[in-house]
Structure 1
Amino acid sequence: MISSLPLLPPFLPLLIGSMAAIFLRGHIRSAIMLLAPVWGALQLSGLEPGIYWAMEFMGYQLEPVRVDKLSIMFGYLFHLAAFIAIVYALHIKDTVQHVAGLSYAACAVGAVFSGDLLTLFVFWELLALTSVLLIWARRTERAYGAGMRYFMIKVLSGVLLLAGTLIFISQTGSAVFGEIGLKQEGILNLGAWLIFLAFGIKCAFPFVHNWLTDAYPEATPTGTVFLASFTTKVAVYALARGFPGTELLVWIGVTMACFPIFYAVIENDLRRVLAYSMINQVGFMVVGIGIGTSLALNGAVAHAFNDVIFKGLLMMTMGAVLHMTGKINGSELGGLYKSMPKTTVLCIVGAASISAFPLFSGFVSKSMVMSAAVAEGYDYVWLALLFAAAGVFHHAGIKIPYFAFFAHDSGIRTTEPPKNMLIAMGIAAVLCIVIGAFPAQTVYALLPWNADYQPYDVTHVLTQLQLLFFSALAFVWLNLKNMYPPELPSTNLDADWLYRKLAPAFMVPVYYSVTGAINKTEQLAKEGIKRVINNSYDQEKNQPKGYFAQFWPTETMVFWVAFLLAGILILYYI
């Protein structure tokens, strides 16, 4: 159904805010930036379900704005995340970060409201272009290298999406972005797989996840908050829209939920720990999409909603630590609770939320996915998710606050971060508690599918409390026995070892061999030409050698020209 046009496309208020940030300065710029997501959210509240701004392009119907419950939920989430991130970044004066952050949020909103694959592709690529600026804005050599690797992988995702889209359009005659699935026939199946892989790269599937753990920790303290909010959640939305009930996603999601735990436990950079934790949490969402029931899908999108808030809170607290101390490695921190008590408390709220403590936001969404797994007979999946839930409490619920604010006293004495950073963290912390205590009135009210679920029953609460208790007991015992992996200054590589170590080790010798052969050939050619020149010139007489190099009189040349001309004329007339 094509509806009457709204006042503006949903992404435009944020884009207008980003353009204003280019020219405005001071308090006026701050006010406009804060008003942009508020204005955008108010516009969303007036939108009715339907298709807006429909147009024809090259014979195909485009639907740039499609409004339904799923897109509206992510639209509200992204405007809320943008507002919190803007508040957090108000103290900085870097125009690049402000413009890139707001533009990035606008592209995320545009992507989730895209009703066709071509419009989705446009915003998909703009997401990569705007987000990489938040990495390069840190202006370090490591940030530049990580940003280049990040951008190349995102471009690959865009190429796969475009190729799959073109196949899909040519075979179906429609560009509409709806349920695609992997059970197509012929070449259409190839197109579906290409789109699936494009979504998977942005969702940080195993073996194509390293752009996240490599680049996010190298971004600016404020840029990481934006990055943690949008890219992977757009991919989760795309999977929920295009591939619900695809069983392969269940096993991919389980792998995502489990394997980051081992790397996060030994990681020293605390923002990289949170990057691994993000993959772990997205794994729960992917499992829910793969199961495909109403309860599972609701659990996936509800957990995406909550993850943006509590992961953003944890990223903000670690960004505050980095901003105030200049350090982020667990081996260099500790004892900060003495000089940053408010930040410590806010970090603990985020840790409790991501660990799914009852009365915190993570509990009311993560349990939905696990309940759906049990209900559909995925018992082994449920056990694996239980292990993953214990693991995330270990590395994000305990390790982050413990090594940053407690553990050994590093001797660092600083102050609380700027007030705007505290306010942003406070907003996120309050939301974590309110959503956890009143899910039916908050996140459950936005859910796209009909499913009755009550998180606070005796079984769920007792199971989760036991899990958390024994996980904490294991951490304490390992720490007292000095068996917990120590925080060591190091850089951990996983699948990125293939292109950061193995590929250079193979390609560098090949490169030098090829360039050496080219240089040698060039040198031999130069020497040969020089030898020819030297042999054709008489140094003693200071003149060229040979009959044809002699200086001939003009009349001789005229004679031979006339002779050749006469010969040509005779041959022509014969």
Structure 2
Amino acid sequence: MISSLPLLPPFLPLLIGALAAIFLRGHLRSAVMLLTPIWGALQLAALEPGLYWAFEFLGYQLEPVRVDKLSLMFGYLFHLAAFIAVVYALHLKDTVQHVSGLSYAASAVGAVFAGDLLTLFVCWELLALTSVFLIWARRTDRAYSAGMRYIVIKVLSGVLLLAGAIIVINETGSAKFSDIGLGHEGLLNVGAWLIFVAFGIKCAFPFAHTWLTDSYPEATPTGTIFLASFTTKVAVYALARGFAGTELLVWIGVTMACFPIFYAVIENDLRRVLAYSMINQIGFMVVGVGIGTSLALNGAVAHAFNDVIFKGLLMMTMGAVLHMTGKINGSELGGLYKTMPKTTILCIVGAASISAFPLFSGFVSKSMIMSAAIEQGYDYVWLALLFAAAGVFHHAGIKIPYFAFFAHDSGIRTTEPPKNMLIAMTIAATLCVVIGTFPAQTVYALLPWQVSYQPYDLTHILTQLQLLFFSALAFVWLNKQSMYPPELPSTNLDSDWLYRKLAPGFLVPLYYSIIESMARVESMAKSGIKRLIDSSYDEAKEQPKGYFAQLWPTETMVFWVALLLAGILLLYYI
């Protein structure tokens, strides 16, 4: 049953704020940008579950706004993330970042409320087009190149989604975006796999993840906060909506949770460390979606909710460091706790949250996924996730605050970042503690599926504390023995080596070889034509020579024309 039309569709307040930011300046622009996410959240609170603005297009029912508990949870999350990011960006005077940030958030909200595949595709592409400007806004050659690679991969994802959607709509007769699944027959299976791969690219599946680690660290300090909040979480939402219970996702998610650890440990750029950490955390969510039980799905979406906040907090602290020092490599930082003590404390809160310390937000959601894995008999998956949890404590829980604020004294003396940045980080840090301490009254109250879960039992607490204690002990021992990978000025490549090193090394010489071959062929053709012309012209008499250069009588030409016409008529009637 279609509910009564709301005042505005969920994405429109954010889009109006983005348009207003084009024309407004100063404090008025800041006020409008701050009020926009609040206005949008109030709109969501007034919505009842149901379909809004449904209409028929080319014989198919389109549902641009579908409201249920799953879409509402992500809708509230994205408005909260947009508000924190706007507060963090208030000191900027950059219209490009303000407009693209709010329009990017509007695209994300539109995607999670899309009830049909065509609306989802439109929002999917808008996510790419609006977000790339947050990378280019840094205005460096590296940012431009990373943005170009980013947009190419995102457009590829959109093309795959559109192709898959067309096939699915044609085969099923419905454009509705609901459970799709894999394992169909015929052309429908091709369409389902195309959509699955499209979602996987934006979710940073293994070998399709390099757009994230390549582009996010090159964005502006404020742009990275927006980027870390929306694209991958929309992809997690899409998987939960369309492919819940697909077992393949369990093994993909485990791989995502484990492999980034090895790259993050050796990475020097601390924002790139957090980018790898993001893939690690998304891996937990993907495992939850793949298991597909109510507990696992609740754990996946709860962890997505918490990850936006604590990962955003860590990104904000590193953005503050970059903003104040102009540096972000661990080899160039250290000792900043002396002049940035507030930022240091806020970073430690984010580190404790992502490491799933009890009483912090990561603990109450990550444990749900691991409990679901044990309940469904995925013992080896549970062990792998345990390893991944220890790894994230190493590279995000310890490495980030240690090398940025402690370790060796770099000699850098600066001040705390602007007050608006500190306020945004404080909001996120407070939420990390409140959610971790009172999960039932906060994130659990928004969960889409009915399930009873208590994170604070003796087994969970002791298991996690032991894991964290021995991980910290391992870090200290490795550091004391000089066995921990040092922070070196370098750029690490993983699977992007294929298109950033191997492909140019192979394709560039091939390109020049083809160009040279074409030039030689062209030169030979020109020489042949010139010889032909020279052989058919008598320079002494200054006139053409040869059989075809003779003057022919008119009656001979008429004869040949009549003969050709007769041949054409004969062929036509045959």
| C-alpha distance in structure 2 between counterparts of 1:560 and 1:251, whole Å | 85
Relative to structure 1, the CA distance from residue 546 to residue 313 in structure 2 (aligned partners, 3 Å threshold; closer, same or farther) is: same
Q: Deviations over 1:380-402 (max 9, x none)?
A: 11111111000000000000000
Is 2:284 the partner of 1:284?
yes
- 2:257 equivalent in structure 1: 257
Is 2:545 the partner of 1:546?
yes
Q: Do 2:538 and 2:545's aligned partners in 1 also have CA atoms closer than 8 Å? A: no
Q: Deviations over 1:240-277 (max 9, x none)?
A: 11111111111111111001000000001100000000
Q: Deviations over 1:386-425 (max 9, x none)?
A: 1100000000000000001111111111111111111111
| C-alpha distance in structure 2 between counterparts of 1:570 and 1:207, whole Å | 67
| C-alpha distance in structure 2 between counterparts of 1:55 and 1:98, whole Å | 33
- 1:416 equivalent in structure 2: 416
- 1:297 equivalent in structure 2: 297
Does the residue aligned with 2:230 lie in a helix, a strand or coil? helix
Relative to structure 1, the CA distance from residue 543 to residue 474 in structure 2 (aligned partners, 3 Å threshold; closer, same or farther) is: same
Deviation at 1:294, TM superposition (A): 0.9
- 1:8 equivalent in structure 2: 8
Over aligned residues, Cα RMSD in angstroms? 2.1
Is 2:351 the partner of 1:351?
yes
Is 2:41 the partner of 1:73?
no
| C-alpha distance in structure 2 between counterparts of 1:438 and 1:81, whole Å | 20
Relative to structure 1, the CA distance from residue 147 to residue 568 in structure 2 (aligned partners, 3 Å threshold; closer, same or farther) is: closer
Instruction: Summarize the alignment of residues 314-393 of structure 1 with structure 2, pairs less than 5 Å apart.
Output: 314-393=314-393
Q: Deviations over 1:416-451 (max 9, x none)?
A: 111111111111111111111111111011001111
Letter aligned with residue 487 of structure 2:
E
Deviation at 1:234, TM superposition (A): 0.3
Deviation at 1:492, TM superposition (A): 0.9
- 2:168 equivalent in structure 1: 168
Deviation at 1:567, TM superposition (A): 9.6
Instruction: Summarize the alignment of residues 433-448 of structure 1 with structure 2, pairs less than 5 Å apart.
Output: 433-448=433-448
| C-alpha distance in structure 2 between counterparts of 1:386 and 1:85, whole Å | 31
Does the residue aligned with 2:174 lie in a helix, a strand or coil? coil
Letter aligned with residue 458 of structure 2:
V
Q: Do 2:143 and 2:219's aligned partners in 1 also have CA atoms closer than 8 Å? A: yes
Deviation at 1:378, TM superposition (A): 1.1
Structure 1 range deviating more: 131-140 or 397-406: 131-140
| C-alpha distance in structure 1 between counterparts of 2:507 and 2:153, whole Å | 19
Deviation at 1:570, TM superposition (A): 13
Deviation at 1:345, TM superposition (A): 0.8
Letter aligned with residue 326 of structure 1:
G
Letter aligned with residue 251 of structure 1:
W
- 1:126 equivalent in structure 2: 126
Letter aligned with residue 78 of structure 2:
F
| C-alpha distance in structure 1 between counterparts of 2:548 and 2:423, whole Å | 88
- 1:311 equivalent in structure 2: 311
Q: Which runs of 5+ in 1 are unaligned?
A: none
Q: Deviations over 1:341-366 (max 9, x none)?
A: 11111111100100001111101110
Q: Do 2:236 and 2:286's aligned partners in 1 also have CA atoms closer than 8 Å? A: yes
| C-alpha distance in structure 1 between counterparts of 2:553 and 2:543, whole Å | 22
Letter aligned with residue 158 of structure 2:
G
Does the residue aligned with 1:473 lie in a helix, a strand or coil? helix
| C-alpha distance in structure 2 between counterparts of 1:544 and 1:206, whole Å | 72
Letter aligned with residue 97 of structure 2:
Q
Instruction: Summarize the alignment of residues 267-282 of structure 1 with structure 2, pairs less than 5 Å apart.
Output: 267-282=267-282
Does the residue aligned with 2:66 lie in a helix, a strand or coil? strand
Instruction: Summarize the alignment of residues 32-51 of structure 1 with structure 2, pairs less than 5 Å apart.
Output: 32-51=32-51
Does the residue aligned with 1:200 lie in a helix, a strand or coil? helix
Q: Do 2:2 and 2:51's aligned partners in 1 also have CA atoms closer than 8 Å? A: yes
| C-alpha distance in structure 1 between counterparts of 2:564 and 2:524, whole Å | 45
Deviation at 1:543, TM superposition (A): 3.5
| C-alpha distance in structure 1 between counterparts of 2:470 and 2:563, whole Å | 110
Deviation at 1:530, TM superposition (A): 3.8
Q: Which runs of 5+ in 2 are unaligned?
A: 567-574
Deviation at 1:235, TM superposition (A): 0.5
| C-alpha distance in structure 1 between counterparts of 2:358 and 2:546, whole Å | 102
| C-alpha distance in structure 1 between counterparts of 2:565 and 2:153, whole Å | 68
Percent identity over paired residues: 81
- 2:431 equivalent in structure 1: 431
Does the residue aligned with 2:56 lie in a helix, a strand or coil? strand
TM-score by length of 1: 0.95
Relative to structure 1, the CA distance from residue 525 to residue 383 in structure 2 (aligned partners, 3 Å threshold; closer, same or farther) is: same
Structure 1 range deviating more: 385-394 or 139-148: 139-148
Instruction: Summarize the alignment of residues 441-480 of structure 1 with structure 2, pairs less than 5 Å apart.
Output: 441-480=441-480
| C-alpha distance in structure 2 between counterparts of 1:452 and 1:40, whole Å | 30
| C-alpha distance in structure 1 between counterparts of 2:436 and 2:77, whole Å | 16
Does the residue aligned with 1:180 lie in a helix, a strand or coil? coil
Does the residue aligned with 2:401 lie in a helix, a strand or coil? helix
Does the residue aligned with 1:365 lie in a helix, a strand or coil? helix
Letter aligned with residue 520 of structure 2:
K
- 1:197 equivalent in structure 2: 197
Instruction: Summarize the alignment of residues 118-267 of structure 1 with structure 2, pairs less than 5 Å apart.
Output: 118-267=118-267
Structure 1 range deviating more: 170-179 or 106-115: 170-179
TM-score by length of 2: 0.95
Q: Do 2:536 and 2:546's aligned partners in 1 also have CA atoms closer than 8 Å? A: no
| C-alpha distance in structure 2 between counterparts of 1:565 and 1:194, whole Å | 64
Does the residue aligned with 1:61 lie in a helix, a strand or coil? strand
Does the residue aligned with 1:490 lie in a helix, a strand or coil? coil
Does the residue aligned with 1:179 lie in a helix, a strand or coil? coil
Relative to structure 1, the CA distance from residue 179 to residue 566 in structure 2 (aligned partners, 3 Å threshold; closer, same or farther) is: closer
| C-alpha distance in structure 2 between counterparts of 1:565 and 1:371, whole Å | 95
